[in-house]
Structure 1
Amino acid sequence: MRELTDGDSWIAARRQAIGGRVRAARLAQNATQEQLHLAAGIDRVTLQRVEAGEDTLVSTLLRIAPALEVPLSELVVEEADRPGR
């Protein structure tokens, strides 16, 4: 197990990256926030917060990923952390 000694600043950066990937996946499908929040069964403000990189629940991401037809890992795993990279 690796000890995280850098404080929590990396968490905000990861949340921003996840939000950016959600937004990019949505835009790649030419979907609006309205379409995605309805398809995912979440509140529009919740989706806006996810895309803005604010704190979110795993259950929210578990709703967004299938609505976008992408694996959850595509939204949350950093490229450098992917196996074989």
Structure 2
Amino acid sequence: MPRDLPEDDDWMRARQRAIGAKVRAERRRQNLSQEAVFLAAGLDRRTFQLLEAGDGNPTMATLMRVAYVLGVDLTDLVQ
């Protein structure tokens, strides 16, 4: 039986922030600029900034592009 969703979306915002933090940490670990990553991924600056800040609502395609550019599995970013 599926679980009921919580009354608020705090749990989802927490996961978005965690994903953004993982993207930022991996980018910094590789000593890459935001610009290098968003350009290589074919994203605009604002989309990438929102993703890293955990404020955006990235599509699966966006997450896959960023993971590819960073050379990591998508699962590394979302687990």
Note whether the superposition's TM-score is higher than 0.5: yes
The letter for the 1-side match of 2:40 is: A
Q: Is 2:17 the counterpart of 1:30? A: no
Moved over 6 A (4+): none
| Residues 55-74 of structure 1 mapped to structure 2, 5 A cutoff | 55-74=57-76
Find the counterpart in structure 1 of residue 16 from structure 2: 15
Cα-Cα RMSD: 1.1
Q: Deviations over 1:16-68 (max 9, x none)?
A: 00000000000000000010011111111110000010221111101100000
TM (normalized to structure 1)?
0.83
The letter for the 1-side match of 2:73 is: P
The whole-number CA distance in structure 2 between the counterparts of 1:40 and 1:75 is: 15
The letter for the 2-side match of 1:45 is: R
The whole-number CA distance in structure 1 between the counterparts of 2:45 and 2:60 is: 17
1:5 Cα deviation from its structure 2 partner: 3.5
TM (normalized to structure 2)?
0.89
- What is the count of residue pairs matched by the alignment? 77
Consecutive unaligned residues of structure 1, counting only runs of 5 or more, are 78-85
